[in-house]
Amino acid sequence: MDLTEWVDRLKAECPEFGNRIFLLDDLLLANPKDLPTAFVMPLQDESDRNRYSEECHFQTGTSIVSVRACIKNTTVRDAGNTTGTVGIETLKQSIRAALRGWKPTNSKNAVDHVIGQILDFDEGVIWWEEQFIIATQIQTTQS
């Protein structure tokens, strides 16, 4: 699955990141001092059983996509608050609002939220992951 459209969607809908949203392949382009930042990566592809017909092969499945956000606990703060947890809460809600119910181009299905979880907290830097799932369909014509 091409996740470029996911990155574009998040950049358009999550201004808190200041366009610092990357594909995993672009990890080296990110400046570790520019936070908050996020990375979009595939986590899992699962296929249902195969269905055959005379001329084409049709298969359905699901893909799980991860959006991993990195924030310094002093980077983003809501008005009047001084804790990093409020900042990460703002980013979580922004990511979820951008992707939950959204239909990527050429997809018959919308994206659903699966789980959000902390991955790491070290020296004031929080890594948070949001996972999303989308049903997929693959059809190929037999030659």
pLDDT per residue over 44-89, tens digit each? 988 776 666 555 666 788 999 999 999 886 544 455 555 444 488 8
Model pLDDT for residues 93-105, shown as the tens digit of each residue: 999 999 999 999 9
Pairing status of strand 37-47 against strand 21-23? parallel
- DSSP secondary structure string for all residues of 26-40: GGGGS-TTS-SEEEE
Cβ contacts of 97 within 8 Å, gap of 6 or more: 13
**pLDDT, the chain, mean:** 83
Of 109, 29, 122, nearest to 65 by C-alpha is 109
Annotated domain spans of the chain = 4-141
Q: For the structural domain made of 4-141, what CATH number should be given?
A: 3.30.2000.10
pLDDT band with cut points at 50, 70 and 90 for residue 140: low
Cβ contacts of 121 within 8 Å, gap of 6 or more: 127
Tokens 């890594």 sit at which residue? 127
- For residue 75, the model assigns a pLDDT of 45
- For residue 85, the model assigns a pLDDT of 43
Its pTM stands at: 0.81
Pairing status of strand 112-122 against strand 51-52? unpaired
